[in-house]
């Protein structure tokens, strides 16, 4: 996400007086987000804590997080992009069609009120969940919200970040970025990294049947992926590393049991604001860590003849 | 890490259940399981208390049959080396150190590396 205007959660705690949660339900999915980072703690420039902050929740239904918010804006499903585009127009005092706004489930007055409050904020922070990024529009929605945050900086300080689930998925983005230059869906089959979501993203690859082997760690796609993707995984040699025998293990040729990240395996994990934190395991596992097993497999691969990308001209010259 | 009675206490432990990665958890553990996770939320508590150091599963399985780690590593390397377009996927519930190894593995086998982010 190049150009993302963001900050650490510590800055949110100490500075943010206006917070928007969009398409996420932290009360149930990130239970300590409100109390540890975003709403209730007293911050250096927010000495009154919760009283010093305004919280807005934007979602398609009234989740338990709505109770924690001062303003709840309920939009119709799949209208996020339209609302975000309207907000981007309103902050620049451009005219919008009230009838078109009404189709989103919100009124022009509600959105104008939101824009007025956003401009009056000293430091605005926006958090978005999968309710924004996994609905119609997908990454275009996330992009629209990130752009809104960037554009708000013409008026006051505004930042934006995704509410990441799954422990260290943020770390996966960071590690892939600093090793390959791209955050996910990186194809190394030509010997250099290529990035094209939709073409080199896992579900698309598996549904098309492009892969002839799979190596899975820190995930259980056998329980979560679309059926055609699972069927392809089951039809090819799949290797899985997991602390438990999972759905994926049952469809795999090889399962290796590993220690539990953070419980019995040491290392580093990234928080959603891209702060790396050391893990402090309290138990000693009878199993090796993911790191050790992947290294051993990599060394076993290295003992075999080197794989090289073959140039088509070379191939035809040999033939 | 300090010892009180039979319990090991780990202060400022880090929870990796969700993206908040809270690093202020106090864990009390006997040799085999964590019995208390102070400061953790309901999700974090069940994460810490439900993972133990017991040997509940075989070291490895090949085609569903119990196998040694050494054999499983060799079998994995053989499959991945033989593949033309292998996929390395997941990377969420693991450490950055393991992620780096996985990227290096993907490069050495000429594969695709991807995470939950693409879902």
3-state secondary structure of A310: coil
Whether A20 is covered by a domain: the verdict is: yes
Residue range A230-253, pLDDT digits in tens: 999 999 999 999 999 999 999 999
Cβ contacts of B90 on chain A, cutoff 8 Å: 216-219, 221
Query: Strand pairing partners for B2?
Result: B9
Residue A155 burial (10 A CB sphere; 0-12, 13-18, 19+): middle
- C-alpha A171/C-alpha B81 separation (Å) is 26
Q: How many domains does chain A have?
A: 2
Residues A153 and A54 in one domain: yes
What interface predicted TM-score (ipTM) does this complex get?
A: 0.95
Residues A265 and A197 in one domain: yes
Q: How many CA atoms lie within 13 A of B77 on its CB side?
A: 21
Residue matched to tokens 């290294």: A295
Q: Which long-range contacts (CB under 8 A, 24 or more apart) does B22-26 make?
A: B22/A32, B22/A36, B23/A277
Whether A232 is covered by a domain: the verdict is: yes
pTM of the model: 0.92
What pLDDT score does A314 carry? 64
Measured between CA atoms, the residue of chain A closest to residue B49 is A263
- pLDDT over 90 percentage in chain A: 89
Residues A110 and A222 in one domain: no
Closest Cα in chain B, distance from residue A36 (Å): 9
Tell me the backbone φ, ψ of residue A277, rounded to 5 degrees.
-130, 140
Is B20's Cβ below 8 Å from some Cβ in A?
yes
Measured between CA atoms, the residue of chain A closest to residue B110 is A189
Q: Which of A263, A273, A305 to mutate to test the interface with B (most CBs of B within 10 A)?
A: A263
3-state secondary structure of B45: helix
Tell me how many residue pairs between chain A and chain B have CB atoms under 8 A apart: 336
Does the beta-carbon distance from B73 to A268 stay under 8 Å?
no
Provide the CA A28 distance to its chain's centre, in angstroms: 17
Residues A16 and A131 in one domain: yes
Residue A15 is part of a domain; what is its CATH number? 3.40.228.10
Cβ contacts of A283 on chain B, cutoff 8 Å: 29, 31-34, 51-53
Residue range A51-70, pLDDT digits in tens: 999 999 999 999 999 999 99
Task: Label residue A3 by pLDDT band (50, 70, 90).
Answer: confident
Residues A198 and A297 in one domain: yes
Segments forming the whole domain that contains residue A299: 169-305
Distances in Å between the alpha carbon of A46 and those of A18, A42, A43?
A: 11, 6, 5
Residue matched to tokens 């432990």: B13
Residues A90 and A203 in one domain: no
Residue range B23-77, pLDDT digits in tens: 999 999 998 999 999 999 999 999 999 999 999 999 999 999 999 999 999 999 9
Residues A75 and A198 in one domain: no
Give the number of other CB atoms < 10 A from CB of residue A173.
23
Last residue of a domain, one of A162, A183, A217: A162
Closest Cα in chain B, distance from residue A180 (Å): 8
Q: Which of A140, A150, A167, A146 lies closest to A279, judged by CA?
A: A167
For residue A149, give every residue at least 6 positions away whose Cβ sits within 8 Å of its Cβ, in sequence order, or none: A5, A124, A126, A158, A159, A160
Lowest mean pLDDT among A94-103, A105-114, A172-181, A301-310: A301-310
Does the beta-carbon distance from B108 to A264 stay under 8 Å?
no
Is B76's Cβ below 8 Å from some Cβ in A?
yes
Q: Which of B92, B100, B105, B110 to mutate to test the interface with A (most CBs of A within 10 A)?
A: B92
Residues A36 and A71 in one domain: yes
Residues A53 and A85 in one domain: yes
Is B63's Cβ below 8 Å from some Cβ in A?
yes
């Amino acid at each position: 996400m190049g150009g993302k205007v963001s900050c650490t959660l510590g800055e949110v705690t100490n500075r943010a007086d206006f917070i928007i949660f969009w398409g996420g339900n932290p009360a149930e999915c990130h239970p300590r987000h409100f109390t540890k980072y975003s709403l209730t703690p007293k911050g250096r420039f927010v000495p009154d804590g919760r009283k010093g902050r305004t919280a807005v929740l934007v979602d398609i239904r009234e989740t338990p997080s709505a109770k924690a918010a001062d303003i709840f804006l309920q939009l119709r499903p799949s209208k996020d992009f339209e609302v975000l585009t309207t907000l981007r127009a309103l902050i620049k005092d451009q005219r919008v069609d009230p009838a078109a706004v009404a189709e989103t489930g919100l009124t022009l007055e509600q959105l104008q009120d939101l824009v007025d409050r956003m401009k009056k904020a000293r430091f605005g922070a926006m958090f978005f969940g999968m309710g924004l990024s996994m609905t119609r529009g997908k990454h275009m929605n996330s992009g629209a919200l990130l752009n809104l945050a960037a554009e708000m900086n013409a008026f006051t300080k505004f930042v934006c970040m995704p509410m990441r689930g799954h422990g260290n998925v943020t770390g996966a983005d960071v590690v892939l970025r600093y090793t390959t230059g791209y955050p996910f869906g990186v194809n190394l089959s030509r010997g250099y990294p290529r990035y094209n979501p939709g073409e080199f993203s896992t579900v698309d690859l598996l549904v098309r049947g492009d892969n002839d082997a799979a190596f899975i760690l820190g995930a259980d796609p056998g329980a979560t992926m679309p059926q055609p993707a699972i069927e392809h995984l089951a039809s090819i040699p799949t290797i899985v590393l997991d602390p438990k025998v999972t759905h994926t293990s049952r469809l795999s040729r090889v399962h290796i049991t590993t220690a539990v990240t953070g419980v019995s395996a040491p290392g580093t994990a990234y928080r959603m604001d891209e702060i790396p934190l050391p893990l402090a395991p309290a138990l000693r596992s009878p199993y090796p860590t993911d790191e050790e097993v992947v290294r051993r497999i990599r060394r076993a691969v290295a003992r075999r003849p080197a794989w090289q990308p073959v140039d088509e001209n070379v191939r035809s010259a040999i033939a | 890490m300090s010892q009180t009675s039979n319990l090991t206490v780990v202060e400022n432990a880090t929870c990796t259940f969700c993206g908040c990665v809270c690093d202020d958890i106090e864990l009390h553990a006997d040799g085999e399981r964590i019995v208390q996770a102070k400061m953790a939320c309901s999700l974090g508590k069940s994460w810490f208390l439900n993972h133990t150091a017991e040997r509940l599963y075989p070291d490895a399985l090949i085609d569903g049959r119990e196998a040694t780690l050494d054999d499983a590593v060799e079998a994995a390397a053989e499959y991945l080396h033989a593949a033309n377009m292998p996929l390395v996927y997941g990377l969420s519930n693991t450490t950055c150190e393991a992620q780096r190894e996985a990227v290096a593995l993907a490069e050495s086998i000429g594969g695709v590396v991807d995470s939950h982010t693409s879902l």
